Amino acid sequence: MLRLGSVALGERPCVALALRDGAPAGAVRAALDAGVDILEFRIDLFENQAPAAVRAELKRWEGTSRIATVRMTAEGGGWRGGEAERLALYRAALECAEAVDVELAADAILDDVIAAAHDQGRLVLGSHHDFRETPPPDRLAAIADKGRGHGVDIIKVAAHCRNAGDVQTLARFLLNTAFEDMVVIGMGAAGLCTRIFFPLLGSRITYTFLGEATAPGQLTCEATLRYLEAFQVGAADSDVGCDSAGGI
């Protein structure tokens, strides 16, 4: 079982809170106290992207489980610099973060990020984001094969869902792919349900936010925790019904 810092991935659904720099400490602490497991630092959205500033921001939350992400614009991120500079930011973040998220399409730096992370005993999420559609099964399989071939620890796929058929395609991909540690997310209104139910099917992490969403269809932190708790309790107690629980 993989561990992302103090968090064992796979024991139960885990919640990651996406943050920009300068997030209010009180609000972040309240989210952690309420049940958030992981902090994802969206460095591509930071106001100050200097390596020293990035390290300082991550160090504010030493003792929590942290993912560092520098998302490129082609996959919905805010990074507008070059790949050499992006690699330098990943290296700086790895001094503090327990994991990094890098796109599988980032061919210029992918292997360097993976090597740098593994040299320090950190995890790598190899991610793919499609904001237009849900890729067909053969393309999803190719994405998983690429992640496996490059040696990432977690394969993450987030794709836009237009209808229930797209949700079913992603569910089959999650359940049938021969790779234990995966994160699969359906974006957009039709995919909203995946943010709660896919973690119950084995998707390792679901994402939420403070202030402004970082992806289409994200639920608020409060709603994410409330729904996960409700459905986990219901799944664990087959005797729970409307009368005993008072309805949901």
Q: Name the residue among 156, 237, 144 with its Cα closest to residue 198.
A: 156
The yes-or-no answer on residue 156 being catalytic is yes
Query: What's the pLDDT tens digit per position in 97-121?
Result: 999 999 999 999 999 999 999 999 9
Query: What's the pLDDT tens digit per position in 171-220?
Result: 999 999 999 999 999 999 999 999 999 999 999 999 998 877 777 778 88
Give the list of residues 6+ apart from residue 85 with CB closer than 8 angstroms, or none.
Answer: none
Distance CA 246, CA 248 (A): 7
Q: At 187, list the tokens.
A: 């974006």
Catalytic entry in 118, 146, 150, 156: 156
Distance CA 194, CA 179 (A): 19
Give the list of residues 6+ apart from residue 106 with CB closer than 8 angstroms, or none.
Answer: 72, 83, 86, 113
Which pLDDT belongs to residue 138? 98
CATH number at 9-230: 3.20.20.70
Cα atoms found within 13 Å of the Cα of residue 154, Cβ hemisphere only? 28
- Contact by Cβ (8 Å): 93, 67: no
Torsion of CA 117, 119, 121, 127, to 10 degrees: 20
Catalytic entry in 59, 118, 128, 129: 129
Amino acid type, 234? G
Place of tokens 């994410």: 224
Spell out the domain ranges in the chain: 9-230
pTM for this prediction? 0.91
Distance CA 242, CA 1 (A): 36
Query: What's the pLDDT tens digit per position in 18-77?
Result: 999 999 999 999 999 999 999 999 999 999 999 999 999 999 999 999 999 999 999 999
- Is the pLDDT confidence value at 239 over 80? no
Helices (H), the chain: 25-34, 51-59, 83-93, 110-119, 137-150, 164-176, 194-200, 221-236, 242-245
